[in-house]
Amino acid sequence: MNNKKFIFFDIDGTLLNDEKTPLESTVQALRQLQKNGHEIAIATGRNLFLAREVIDTFQLDNYIVCNGAAGYFKHELKYENKLDLNAFEKLLQISDESGHQVVYESAHALARRHELIENNASEAMRSIEFEVPDHDVSFYQNNPLYQALLFYKEEEKAIYEDGAFPEFRFVRWHDAGVDVLPNPGSKAQTALWMAKHLGFAHEDTIAFGDGNNDYELISSVGYGVAMGNAVDPVKDVAKFVTKDCNSGGIAYALEKLGLL
């Protein structure tokens, strides 16, 4: 591949392995990309607070967090897409009536709506090493809200996903949990905006990912790479499927693409 590229990386299951740590080959590969003059960024469902350790480990200047709702370039917020508060208050009313737990997310903090946290919600959060946040029922009224976590089973999705909330997208990441995102809004939308804003042609954008929230990103950039551990829909739209996150998939693909 010729020309300088803008390359976007998911975190969990992509930059990090199943132990939630980066392989040394991944760290070295990203540092070499930077030395070679390419622009790189993370594009993650985590908020900035939860992504900070990864940002520091890889010495990144650019990051897209909250599934695209906030985009930072050279550590400055350049793009934001907040949840519609009127619609969100309607969602809270229905979630309360349905007994479904909610976690609020700003770029820098999280808080849970309910004082008592149910097992399915705590198990879902801990499955991604996500500590149960503090209780603050009014958090969303005092902080810019970029996304939320909502905990319900697949068989209950009609309550929210059958047209009641056109202002939101619901992206499942666990049997019991979904991300509530602005609609329109995605990692892809923010990544392509950032790349265009910085003068990169579409064909010079690349992305790596594995989960359902990476589908639009992998299918929308110039060259999408699915990790070997990716869900099938992501593999189906990728132009290349690399090794899994435990087997050096990042470095392997970058070498194949001639970027290292």
Question: Which of the residues are catalytic?
Answer: 10
CB atoms within 10 A of CB 15: 23
3-state helix, strand, coil in the chain (%, to 5): 35, 25, 40
* Alpha carbons 236 and 218: distance in angstroms, whole number: 10
- Residue 57 burial (C-beta neighbours within 10 Å; 0-12, 13-18, 19+): middle
Name beta bridge partners: 7. Answer: 40, 206
Lookup result for tokens 């991604």? 128
User: With helix as H, strand as E and coil as C, how does 94-111 read?
Assistant: HHHHHCCCEEEECCCCEE
Which pair of structure tokens corresponds to residue 72?
A: 């930072």
Rg for the chain, CA atoms, rounded? 18
Residue 134 identity:
D
CB atoms within 10 A of CB 137: 14
Which pair of structure tokens corresponds to residue 197?
A: 């804003």
